[in-house]
Chains A and B, each alone.
Chain A
Protein backbone atom coordinates (compact mmCIF):
# COMPACT_ATOMS: atom_id res chain seq x y z
CA UNK A 1 0.00 0.00 0.00
CA UNK A 2 1.16 3.55 -0.59
CA UNK A 3 2.18 5.49 2.47
CA UNK A 4 4.12 8.69 2.45
CA UNK A 5 6.02 10.46 5.17
CA UNK A 6 6.30 14.22 5.25
CA UNK A 7 9.14 16.07 3.56
CA UNK A 8 10.38 17.15 6.98
CA UNK A 9 10.37 13.57 8.34
CA UNK A 10 12.24 12.30 5.27
CA UNK A 11 14.81 15.12 5.48
CA UNK A 12 15.34 14.46 9.20
CA UNK A 13 15.81 10.74 8.56
CA UNK A 14 18.52 11.57 6.02
CA UNK A 15 20.24 14.03 8.38
CA UNK A 16 20.25 11.37 11.13
CA UNK A 17 21.63 8.78 8.69
CA UNK A 18 24.40 11.18 7.59
CA UNK A 19 25.33 11.95 11.19
CA UNK A 20 25.35 8.26 12.16
CA UNK A 21 27.46 7.39 9.12
CA UNK A 22 29.87 10.24 9.78
CA UNK A 23 30.26 9.41 13.46
CA UNK A 24 31.03 5.83 12.47
CA UNK A 25 33.38 6.49 9.53
CA UNK A 26 34.63 10.03 10.23
CA UNK A 27 35.61 10.50 6.58
CA UNK A 28 34.51 14.12 6.24
CA UNK A 29 35.47 15.02 9.82
CA UNK A 30 38.99 13.65 9.34
CA UNK A 31 39.45 15.43 6.00
CA UNK A 32 38.11 18.74 7.30
CA UNK A 33 39.89 18.50 10.65
CA UNK A 34 43.24 17.60 9.12
CA UNK A 35 43.11 20.43 6.59
CA UNK A 36 41.85 23.03 9.06
CA UNK A 37 44.36 22.26 11.79
CA UNK A 38 47.31 21.93 9.38
CA UNK A 39 46.65 25.21 7.59
CA UNK A 40 45.80 27.00 10.82
CA UNK A 41 49.07 26.00 12.46
CA UNK A 42 51.07 26.69 9.27
CA UNK A 43 49.57 30.19 8.96
CA UNK A 44 50.02 30.92 12.67
CA UNK A 45 53.63 29.68 12.58
CA UNK A 46 54.60 31.63 9.44
CA UNK A 47 52.68 34.85 10.03
CA UNK A 48 51.73 34.86 13.71
CA UNK A 49 50.18 37.81 15.52
CA UNK A 50 52.97 40.34 14.96
CA UNK A 51 54.41 40.08 11.43
CA UNK A 52 51.67 42.01 9.60
CA UNK A 53 51.43 45.80 9.49
CA UNK A 54 48.53 47.06 11.62
CA UNK A 55 46.72 48.57 8.59
CA UNK A 56 46.92 45.33 6.60
CA UNK A 57 45.81 43.06 9.42
CA UNK A 58 41.97 43.24 9.10
CA UNK A 59 41.97 42.52 5.37
CA UNK A 60 44.73 39.92 5.24
CA UNK A 61 43.62 38.04 8.33
CA UNK A 62 39.98 38.00 7.14
CA UNK A 63 41.06 36.65 3.75
CA UNK A 64 43.27 33.99 5.35
CA UNK A 65 40.46 32.92 7.68
CA UNK A 66 38.06 32.33 4.79
CA UNK A 67 40.71 30.55 2.73
CA UNK A 68 41.20 28.12 5.62
CA UNK A 69 37.44 27.67 6.09
CA UNK A 70 36.81 27.30 2.37
CA UNK A 71 39.45 24.69 1.58
CA UNK A 72 38.85 22.74 4.78
CA UNK A 73 35.10 22.55 4.09
CA UNK A 74 35.58 21.61 0.44
CA UNK A 75 37.63 18.61 1.55
CA UNK A 76 34.53 17.19 3.24
CA UNK A 77 31.40 18.71 1.73
CA UNK A 78 32.09 17.84 -1.90
CA UNK A 79 31.77 14.07 -1.38
CA UNK A 80 28.30 14.07 0.09
CA UNK A 81 26.64 12.65 -3.06
CA UNK A 82 29.62 10.94 -4.69
CA UNK A 83 29.92 8.63 -1.69
CA UNK A 84 26.33 7.40 -2.29
CA UNK A 85 27.17 6.56 -5.92
CA UNK A 86 30.48 4.91 -4.94
CA UNK A 87 28.82 2.77 -2.25
CA UNK A 88 25.90 1.79 -4.57
CA UNK A 89 23.39 3.18 -2.08
CA UNK A 90 22.13 6.01 -4.32
CA UNK A 91 19.62 3.88 -6.22
CA UNK A 92 17.87 2.70 -3.05
CA UNK A 93 17.78 6.28 -1.79
CA UNK A 94 16.36 7.47 -5.13
CA UNK A 95 13.47 5.04 -4.81
CA UNK A 96 12.75 5.62 -1.14
CA UNK A 97 13.05 9.39 -0.66
CA UNK A 98 11.76 12.47 -2.40
CA UNK A 99 14.54 14.37 -4.22
CA UNK A 100 13.93 17.50 -2.14
CA UNK A 101 14.23 15.49 1.07
CA UNK A 102 17.59 14.13 -0.11
CA UNK A 103 18.79 17.62 -1.02
CA UNK A 104 17.63 19.17 2.26
CA UNK A 105 18.97 16.29 4.36
CA UNK A 106 22.41 16.47 2.75
CA UNK A 107 22.38 20.26 2.93
CA UNK A 108 21.57 20.33 6.66
CA UNK A 109 24.31 17.77 7.32
CA UNK A 110 26.85 19.86 5.38
CA UNK A 111 25.70 22.97 7.23
CA UNK A 112 26.16 21.27 10.62
CA UNK A 113 29.62 20.14 9.56
CA UNK A 114 30.58 23.64 8.46
CA UNK A 115 29.18 25.30 11.59
CA UNK A 116 31.15 22.83 13.73
CA UNK A 117 34.25 23.73 11.73
CA UNK A 118 33.62 27.46 12.25
CA UNK A 119 33.01 27.01 15.99
CA UNK A 120 36.42 25.34 16.35
CA UNK A 121 38.48 27.26 13.80
CA UNK A 122 37.34 30.88 14.24
CA UNK A 123 38.14 31.28 17.99
CA UNK A 124 41.36 29.30 17.56
CA UNK A 125 42.38 31.48 14.61
CA UNK A 126 41.57 34.71 16.44
CA UNK A 127 43.60 33.51 19.43
CA UNK A 128 46.62 32.33 17.46
CA UNK A 129 46.72 35.35 15.16
CA UNK A 130 45.89 37.90 17.83
CA UNK A 131 42.87 39.05 15.81
CA UNK A 132 40.72 41.42 17.85
CA UNK A 133 37.07 41.51 16.76
CA UNK A 134 35.26 44.83 17.27
CA UNK A 135 31.86 43.64 16.07
CA UNK A 136 31.35 40.13 17.49
CA UNK A 137 27.66 39.98 16.56
CA UNK A 138 28.46 41.12 13.03
CA UNK A 139 31.11 38.40 12.73
CA UNK A 140 28.70 35.74 14.01
CA UNK A 141 26.11 36.81 11.41
CA UNK A 142 28.67 36.80 8.59
CA UNK A 143 29.89 33.36 9.66
CA UNK A 144 26.32 32.00 9.82
CA UNK A 145 25.29 33.48 6.47
CA UNK A 146 28.62 32.59 4.83
CA UNK A 147 28.48 29.05 6.21
CA UNK A 148 24.90 28.55 5.04
CA UNK A 149 25.61 29.85 1.53
CA UNK A 150 28.83 27.86 1.29
CA UNK A 151 26.91 24.72 2.30
CA UNK A 152 24.13 25.38 -0.22
CA UNK A 153 26.60 25.97 -3.06
CA UNK A 154 28.83 23.01 -2.17
CA UNK A 155 25.85 20.64 -1.78
CA UNK A 156 24.34 21.74 -5.08
CA UNK A 157 27.59 21.37 -7.01
CA UNK A 158 28.24 18.02 -5.30
CA UNK A 159 24.82 16.84 -6.54
CA UNK A 160 25.53 18.05 -10.08
CA UNK A 161 28.79 16.17 -10.36
CA UNK A 162 27.84 12.99 -8.48
CA UNK A 163 26.85 11.01 -11.57
CA UNK A 164 29.58 12.41 -13.83
CA UNK A 165 32.55 10.15 -14.43
CA UNK A 166 35.14 12.92 -14.07
CA UNK A 167 33.55 14.25 -10.91
CA UNK A 168 36.77 15.22 -9.16
CA UNK A 169 37.75 17.45 -12.07
CA UNK A 170 34.29 18.92 -12.52
CA UNK A 171 33.84 20.11 -8.94
CA UNK A 172 36.24 23.10 -8.99
CA UNK A 173 35.08 24.11 -12.49
CA UNK A 174 31.40 24.24 -11.51
CA UNK A 175 32.03 25.55 -8.01
CA UNK A 176 34.20 28.51 -9.03
CA UNK A 177 31.46 30.85 -10.36
CA UNK A 178 29.24 30.06 -7.37
CA UNK A 179 31.85 30.28 -4.65
CA UNK A 180 34.06 33.13 -5.81
CA UNK A 181 31.49 35.92 -5.27
CA UNK A 182 30.57 34.35 -1.93
CA UNK A 183 34.17 34.38 -0.74
CA UNK A 184 34.66 37.99 -1.84
CA UNK A 185 31.53 39.06 0.09
CA UNK A 186 32.37 36.93 3.14
CA UNK A 187 35.90 38.36 3.36
CA UNK A 188 34.51 41.91 3.05
CA UNK A 189 31.96 41.18 5.79
CA UNK A 190 34.56 39.69 8.12
CA UNK A 191 36.88 42.65 7.57
CA UNK A 192 34.01 45.01 8.40
CA UNK A 193 33.21 43.07 11.59
CA UNK A 194 36.86 43.09 12.63
CA UNK A 195 37.11 46.87 12.23
CA UNK A 196 33.75 48.16 13.44
CA UNK A 197 31.39 47.39 16.32
CA UNK A 198 28.44 48.74 14.27
CA UNK A 199 26.13 46.10 12.82
CA UNK A 200 25.52 48.40 9.86
CA UNK A 201 29.10 47.85 8.72
CA UNK A 202 28.47 44.21 7.83
CA UNK A 203 25.01 44.72 6.29
CA UNK A 204 26.16 45.18 2.65
CA UNK A 205 28.15 41.94 2.84
CA UNK A 206 25.27 40.14 4.57
CA UNK A 207 22.89 41.26 1.83
CA UNK A 208 25.24 40.01 -0.89
CA UNK A 209 25.82 36.67 0.86
CA UNK A 210 22.09 36.12 1.55
CA UNK A 211 21.17 37.00 -2.04
CA UNK A 212 23.71 34.52 -3.39
CA UNK A 213 22.48 31.86 -0.99
CA UNK A 214 18.84 32.51 -1.91
CA UNK A 215 19.43 32.36 -5.65
CA UNK A 216 21.54 29.19 -5.37
CA UNK A 217 18.96 27.55 -3.10
CA UNK A 218 16.07 28.27 -5.47
CA UNK A 219 18.11 27.01 -8.43
CA UNK A 220 19.04 23.87 -6.50
CA UNK A 221 15.41 23.19 -5.53
CA UNK A 222 14.31 23.56 -9.16
CA UNK A 223 17.10 21.55 -10.77
CA UNK A 224 17.89 18.87 -8.21
CA UNK A 225 14.93 16.54 -8.93
CA UNK A 226 15.99 16.37 -12.60
CA UNK A 227 19.67 15.87 -11.74
CA UNK A 228 18.93 13.25 -9.10
CA UNK A 229 16.44 11.08 -10.96
CA UNK A 230 17.31 11.38 -14.67
Chain B
Protein backbone atom coordinates (compact mmCIF):
# COMPACT_ATOMS: atom_id res chain seq x y z
CA UNK B 1 0.00 0.00 0.00
CA UNK B 2 2.80 2.39 0.96
CA UNK B 3 4.45 1.89 -2.42
CA UNK B 4 1.28 2.81 -4.28
CA UNK B 5 0.94 6.02 -2.29
CA UNK B 6 4.52 7.08 -3.08
CA UNK B 7 3.92 6.58 -6.80
CA UNK B 8 0.93 8.90 -6.61
CA UNK B 9 3.04 11.52 -4.85
CA UNK B 10 5.58 11.61 -7.64
CA UNK B 11 2.89 12.07 -10.28
CA UNK B 12 1.46 15.08 -8.41
CA UNK B 13 4.75 16.48 -7.22
CA UNK B 14 5.42 20.07 -6.29
CA UNK B 15 2.31 21.96 -7.22
CA UNK B 16 1.56 24.18 -4.23
CA UNK B 17 3.56 27.20 -3.09
CA UNK B 18 2.69 29.34 -0.09
CA UNK B 19 3.51 33.05 -0.45
CA UNK B 20 3.03 35.57 2.31
CA UNK B 21 3.63 39.31 2.25
CA UNK B 22 3.57 41.99 4.92
CA UNK B 23 2.06 39.67 7.52
CA UNK B 24 1.38 41.65 10.67
CA UNK B 25 -0.48 40.33 13.69
CA UNK B 26 -1.72 42.26 16.69
CA UNK B 27 -3.41 40.84 19.75
CA UNK B 28 -5.05 43.92 21.22
CA UNK B 29 -2.29 46.50 21.63
CA UNK B 30 0.49 43.93 21.43
CA UNK B 31 2.12 43.54 18.03
CA UNK B 32 3.45 40.02 17.58
CA UNK B 33 4.46 40.08 13.91
CA UNK B 34 5.39 43.08 11.79
CA UNK B 35 5.47 42.89 8.01
CA UNK B 36 6.80 39.36 7.64
CA UNK B 37 7.09 37.97 4.12
CA UNK B 38 8.46 34.90 2.43
CA UNK B 39 7.73 31.78 0.43
CA UNK B 40 7.37 28.09 1.21
CA UNK B 41 7.75 25.79 -1.77
CA UNK B 42 8.61 22.16 -2.46
CA UNK B 43 12.32 21.39 -2.25
CA UNK B 44 12.98 24.67 -0.46
CA UNK B 45 12.46 24.25 3.28
CA UNK B 46 11.76 27.43 5.24
CA UNK B 47 12.95 27.71 8.83
CA UNK B 48 11.28 30.23 11.14
CA UNK B 49 13.47 30.99 14.13
CA UNK B 50 13.43 33.55 16.93
CA UNK B 51 13.26 33.83 20.69
CA UNK B 52 10.27 32.74 22.75
CA UNK B 53 7.30 35.02 22.15
CA UNK B 54 8.64 36.31 18.83
CA UNK B 55 5.62 34.95 16.95
CA UNK B 56 6.89 31.72 15.33
CA UNK B 57 3.77 29.74 16.21
CA UNK B 58 1.54 32.69 15.34
CA UNK B 59 3.13 32.89 11.88
CA UNK B 60 2.61 29.16 11.29
CA UNK B 61 -1.02 29.44 12.42
CA UNK B 62 -1.49 32.31 9.97
CA UNK B 63 0.13 30.26 7.18
CA UNK B 64 -2.25 27.40 8.04
CA UNK B 65 -5.27 29.71 7.78
CA UNK B 66 -6.14 29.08 11.42
CA UNK B 67 -5.53 32.71 12.30
CA UNK B 68 -6.17 35.79 10.18
CA UNK B 69 -3.38 38.35 9.93
CA UNK B 70 -4.18 41.91 11.04
CA UNK B 71 -2.50 43.12 7.85
CA UNK B 72 -0.82 41.42 4.93
CA UNK B 73 -1.84 38.35 2.98
CA UNK B 74 -1.15 34.64 2.63
CA UNK B 75 -1.75 32.90 -0.69
CA UNK B 76 -1.63 29.23 -1.62
CA UNK B 77 -0.71 29.06 -5.28
CA UNK B 78 -1.33 26.05 -7.47
CA UNK B 79 1.17 27.03 -10.15
CA UNK B 80 0.18 30.68 -10.49
CA UNK B 81 -3.45 30.17 -9.55
CA UNK B 82 -4.44 31.25 -6.02
CA UNK B 83 -6.43 28.61 -4.16
CA UNK B 84 -9.53 29.47 -2.12
CA UNK B 85 -9.10 29.02 1.63
CA UNK B 86 -11.37 25.96 1.71
CA UNK B 87 -8.87 24.22 -0.58
CA UNK B 88 -5.94 24.88 1.77
CA UNK B 89 -6.93 22.42 4.46
CA UNK B 90 -7.02 19.20 2.40
CA UNK B 91 -3.50 20.00 1.16
CA UNK B 92 -2.12 20.90 4.56
CA UNK B 93 -0.49 18.90 7.34
CA UNK B 94 0.50 20.46 10.62
CA UNK B 95 2.03 19.44 13.93
CA UNK B 96 2.31 21.90 16.79
CA UNK B 97 2.65 21.81 20.57
CA UNK B 98 -0.99 22.88 21.03
CA UNK B 99 -2.30 20.04 18.84
CA UNK B 100 -2.91 16.75 20.62
CA UNK B 101 -4.09 13.31 19.55
CA UNK B 102 -7.20 11.87 21.22
CA UNK B 103 -6.02 10.39 24.53
CA UNK B 104 -8.91 7.97 24.78
CA UNK B 105 -8.09 6.36 21.42
CA UNK B 106 -5.14 4.18 20.46
CA UNK B 107 -2.36 5.44 18.19
CA UNK B 108 -3.76 3.45 15.29
CA UNK B 109 -7.36 4.56 15.97
CA UNK B 110 -6.20 8.19 15.90
CA UNK B 111 -4.52 7.72 12.53
CA UNK B 112 -7.49 5.72 11.22
CA UNK B 113 -9.83 8.59 12.13
CA UNK B 114 -7.70 11.23 10.42
CA UNK B 115 -7.06 9.03 7.39
CA UNK B 116 -10.83 8.61 7.01
CA UNK B 117 -11.38 12.35 7.39
CA UNK B 118 -8.66 13.01 4.83
CA UNK B 119 -10.09 10.43 2.42
CA UNK B 120 -6.91 8.35 2.28
CA UNK B 121 -7.75 5.33 4.44
CA UNK B 122 -6.51 2.17 2.73
CA UNK B 123 -6.53 -0.18 5.72
CA UNK B 124 -4.33 -0.19 8.81
CA UNK B 125 -1.23 -1.47 6.99
CA UNK B 126 0.14 1.86 5.66
CA UNK B 127 -0.71 3.59 8.95
CA UNK B 128 1.21 0.98 10.95
CA UNK B 129 4.13 1.34 8.55
CA UNK B 130 4.13 5.12 9.04
CA UNK B 131 4.13 4.73 12.84
CA UNK B 132 7.01 2.28 12.60
CA UNK B 133 8.91 4.69 10.33
CA UNK B 134 8.59 7.23 13.11
CA UNK B 135 9.90 4.73 15.64
CA UNK B 136 6.67 3.58 17.29
CA UNK B 137 6.90 -0.21 17.45
CA UNK B 138 3.88 -2.37 16.53
CA UNK B 139 3.36 -3.32 20.18
CA UNK B 140 2.34 0.29 20.89
CA UNK B 141 -0.04 0.77 17.97
CA UNK B 142 -3.13 -0.44 19.83
CA UNK B 143 -2.26 1.19 23.15
CA UNK B 144 -4.21 4.25 24.29
CA UNK B 145 -2.47 7.59 23.83
CA UNK B 146 -3.22 8.34 27.50
CA UNK B 147 -0.56 5.76 28.39
CA UNK B 148 2.05 7.25 26.02
CA UNK B 149 5.09 9.31 26.97
CA UNK B 150 5.33 12.83 25.53
CA UNK B 151 7.90 11.62 22.97
CA UNK B 152 5.60 8.84 21.78
CA UNK B 153 2.71 11.32 21.50
CA UNK B 154 4.93 13.56 19.39
CA UNK B 155 5.56 10.66 17.00
CA UNK B 156 1.78 10.11 16.65
CA UNK B 157 1.30 13.84 16.00
CA UNK B 158 3.92 13.74 13.25
CA UNK B 159 2.23 10.69 11.73
CA UNK B 160 -1.14 12.50 11.83
CA UNK B 161 0.37 15.50 10.08
CA UNK B 162 1.92 13.47 7.25
CA UNK B 163 -0.36 10.45 6.72
CA UNK B 164 -2.19 12.09 3.79
CA UNK B 165 1.10 13.11 2.12
CA UNK B 166 0.34 16.83 2.36
CA UNK B 167 1.44 19.33 -0.23
CA UNK B 168 2.14 21.86 2.51
CA UNK B 169 3.61 20.78 5.85
CA UNK B 170 3.92 23.16 8.81
CA UNK B 171 5.95 21.88 11.75
CA UNK B 172 6.09 23.85 14.98
CA UNK B 173 8.92 22.58 17.22
CA UNK B 174 8.68 19.14 15.60
CA UNK B 175 11.38 17.47 17.66
CA UNK B 176 9.98 18.61 21.01
CA UNK B 177 10.21 15.67 23.44
CA UNK B 178 11.89 13.42 20.86
CA UNK B 179 15.00 11.44 21.76
CA UNK B 180 18.03 11.15 19.44
CA UNK B 181 16.45 8.25 17.51
CA UNK B 182 13.20 10.18 17.12
CA UNK B 183 15.05 13.21 15.83
CA UNK B 184 16.91 11.09 13.31
CA UNK B 185 13.66 9.53 12.08
CA UNK B 186 12.02 12.95 11.83
CA UNK B 187 14.96 14.16 9.75
CA UNK B 188 14.57 11.17 7.42
CA UNK B 189 10.82 11.86 7.05
CA UNK B 190 11.43 15.53 6.27
CA UNK B 191 14.10 14.60 3.73
CA UNK B 192 11.72 12.14 2.06
CA UNK B 193 8.87 14.66 1.85
CA UNK B 194 10.94 17.74 1.01
CA UNK B 195 11.15 17.33 -2.80
CA UNK B 196 7.38 17.20 -3.19
CA UNK B 197 6.12 19.15 -0.18
CA UNK B 198 6.35 22.81 0.78
CA UNK B 199 7.69 22.62 4.34
CA UNK B 200 8.05 25.32 6.99
CA UNK B 201 9.59 24.54 10.38
CA UNK B 202 9.40 26.82 13.41
CA UNK B 203 12.30 25.99 15.67
CA UNK B 204 15.31 27.16 17.61
CA UNK B 205 17.02 23.76 17.52
CA UNK B 206 20.32 24.11 15.59
CA UNK B 207 19.89 20.61 14.09
CA UNK B 208 16.52 21.61 12.56
CA UNK B 209 17.77 25.05 11.52
CA UNK B 210 20.40 23.16 9.47
CA UNK B 211 17.59 21.55 7.39
CA UNK B 212 16.56 24.96 6.06
CA UNK B 213 17.16 26.37 2.61
CA UNK B 214 15.83 29.74 3.75
CA UNK B 215 15.40 31.26 7.18
CA UNK B 216 13.21 33.94 8.71
CA UNK B 217 14.61 35.24 12.00
CA UNK B 218 11.86 36.89 14.00
CA UNK B 219 12.79 39.57 16.50
CA UNK B 220 11.76 39.14 20.14
Contacts and interface: CB of A to CB of B under 8 A. Distances in A.
A5 B118 contact: yes
A10 to B, nearest CB: 5
B99 A96 contact: no
Main secondary structure of the interface of A (DSSP, over half): helix
B105 interface: yes
Contact of B113 (A3, A13, A88): A13
Contacts of A16: 113
Given A89-B102, A91-B66, A95-B64, A5 B117 contact: yes
Contacts of B117: 5, 10, 13-14, 93, 96-97, 101
A203 to B, nearest CB: 40
A21 interface: yes
Nearest to B157: A92
Nearest to B95: A92
A74 B107 CA distance: 31
Contact of A1 (B8, B100, B144): B8
A222 interface: no
Interface stretch (B39-47, B86-94, B183-191, B208-216): B86-94
B142 interface: no
B167 A3 contact: no
A137 B91 CA distance: 49
Interface residues of A, number: 29
Interface string A81-101: 000000111011111110001
B69 to A, nearest CB: 13
Contacts of B1: none
Contacts of A2: 87, 90-91, 167
Given A95-B94, A96-B114, A1 B12 contact: yes
Contact of B101 (A14, A89, A95, A97): A89
A95 B92 contact: yes
Given A17-B105, A21-B105, A88-B98, A1 B165 contact: yes
B90 A21 contact: no
B109 interface: yes
Given A20-B109, A24-B104, A92-B114, A3 B68 contact: no
A32 B68 CA distance: 38
A230 interface: yes
A93 B100 CA distance: 10
21 contacts: A2-B167, A3-B119, A3-B120, A3-B164, A5-B116, A9-B116, A10-B116, A13-B113, A13-B116, A14-B117, A17-B102, A17-B105, A20-B104, A87-B100, A88-B98, A91-B96, A91-B98, A92-B114, A96-B118, A97-B117, A229-B65
Interface of A: 1-6, 9-10, 13-14, 16-17, 20-21, 24-25, 87-89, 91-97, 101, 229-230
